[in-house]
Chain A
């Protein structure tokens, strides 16, 4: 039997995941008054770092030039002084949990006891499933991924980006900026269409096309060849490198066998408690939680703001539970954050507030869709109520009223 460590007299909280969500959870646990032991275990060999530059400045070589060490140094998060006594174990992946016994097991066989568990294990890239092989298949999630891809972005290199979501379009813009010949393959009629709708998606596609990116929309990849990808209409796109940007999968397998609903991330209630298991909360893009601002439907949200928002609520919940108090009486209730995200594509800043993807109708309130770079504001309505707004090329000094438009009181459910 392996030695068990980590259960201390004051209680021990294990944070599974040392990304931004794990970092914010540690900070927020301390802010919520938890002064017992906290250990953060991370699968990656790094302390927490900021991922958005991986598809932008870092990929373009504007910051973090050199190797993985320099790239990580350029993106590492500052850590607040209030977590100086938190123990960090990067490069220590948790492979199993027994929640009834209050233990987690690390890849090296160590078993660690915990009184509270924060699930912050994030996502991994979904991989393209197609027959055949290509010698330069890339994904973009980690700093290692970004350095490997950056080193391939040479002038004249033919890059096929599979998937025209936000990350795919950012990679396409960065690769084009590096002088690559870039083609985006997207199954939907327009890139980023699921979130932005076809009108704004088309507008941003035009923005890309005018800068030399080609799009193959309504197409999927059916086969890989050594120097090309084959599409579902039988055509071939020559490819020196292939970037797979077709979404992500939650890292939850290590929680199997504990009676949790892991069908798409960790199903949580409105206080970020994992359903059916006291002492377990989830934060970041692995958490599936309801936002009463919109409806009661639990969703995972893959935005940069989510780790900070969910960590605040989850830490208040867990700290209260560990003290034997009612978590509903601690922290914000109901928990109804205003989501936001941004994207940079060829110097065009796209800023979203609210949940445009939930809209059933969109309304152009500013600008000309044929000229996105001149400034566009699109408001998304659901059942006649504004639920999201997307701004493109609008300076931040003019964002506030648009955010306020979609950040009013949550609708009654």
Chain B
């Protein structure tokens, strides 16, 4: 699956990192890092991460 985060919109809430730690993490500087092509087995968590993003910055493209 392909994941894109609009980093101009992202406000580093970190909810995605709670929902899908396999694909998203907040680094020690407090900024988002993510895997743009997480394994299909993580789809449910990644969908959850997109849902719980307070600013809806996460798009799943396939």
Write the residues of chain A forming the contact surface with B, with a CB cutoff of 8 angstroms.
Answer: 24, 50, 52-53, 77-78, 80, 304-305, 308, 340, 342, 349, 351, 395-397, 399-400, 403
Given A395-B26, A396-B26, A396-B30, A342:B59 Cβ within 8 A = no
Give the distance in Å from the alpha carbon of A160 to the alpha carbon of B8 in the complex. Answer: 32
From the candidates A24, A52, A305, A396, name the one contacting B14 in the complex (CB within 8 A).
A396
Asked whether B37 is an interface residue with its Cβ less than 8 Å from the other chain, the reply is: no
Indicate with 1 or 0, residue by residue over B39-62, a CB within 8 angstroms of chain A CB atoms: 000000001001110111001000
Given A342-B13, A396-B13, A403:B54 Cβ within 8 A = no
Interface residues on B, range: 20 to 34
A23 vs chain B, min Cβ distance (A): 10
Q: Which 6 A-B pairs have the closest CB atoms?
A: A396-B14, A395-B30, A397-B26, A396-B26, A397-B30, A396-B12
Chain B residue at minimal CB-CB distance from A81:
B60
**What residues of B have a CB within 8 angstroms of the CB of A24 in the complex?**
51
Secondary structure at chain B's binding surface: helix, strand, loop or mixed? loop
Besides A305-B52, A397-B14, A400-B17, 19 new A-B residue pairs in contact (Cβ under 8 A), listed by A number: A52-B54, A77-B56, A78-B56, A78-B59, A304-B54, A308-B52, A349-B13, A351-B13, A395-B29, A396-B13, A396-B14, A396-B17, A396-B26, A397-B27, A397-B28, A397-B30, A399-B14, A399-B18, A403-B18
| Structural contact, B51 and A50, CB atoms closer than 8 A | no
**What residues of B have a CB within 8 angstroms of the CB of A53 in the complex?**
55
Given A80-B47, A395-B12, A50:B17 Cβ within 8 A = no
B7 vs chain A, min Cβ distance (A): 14
Give the distance in Å from the alpha carbon of A78 to the alpha carbon of B53 in the complex. Answer: 12
**What residues of B have a CB within 8 angstroms of the CB of A308 in the complex?**
51-52
Give the distance in Å from the alpha carbon of A304 to the alpha carbon of B54 in the complex. Answer: 8
A272 vs chain B, min Cβ distance (A): 18
Give the distance in Å from the alpha carbon of A304 to the alpha carbon of B55 in the complex. Answer: 11
Chain B residue at minimal CB-CB distance from A63:
B9
Give the distance in Å from the alpha carbon of A278 to the alpha carbon of B60 in the complex. Answer: 36
Chain A residue at minimal CB-CB distance from B44:
A31
Give the distance in Å from the alpha carbon of A78 to the alpha carbon of B55 in the complex. Answer: 11
Give the distance in Å from the alpha carbon of A202 to the alpha carbon of B22 in the complex. Answer: 39
B61 vs chain A, min Cβ distance (A): 11
A57 vs chain B, min Cβ distance (A): 8
A350 vs chain B, min Cβ distance (A): 12
Give the distance in Å from the alpha carbon of A395 to the alpha carbon of B27 in the complex. Answer: 10
**What residues of A have a CB within 8 angstroms of the CB of B13 in the complex?**
342, 349, 351, 396
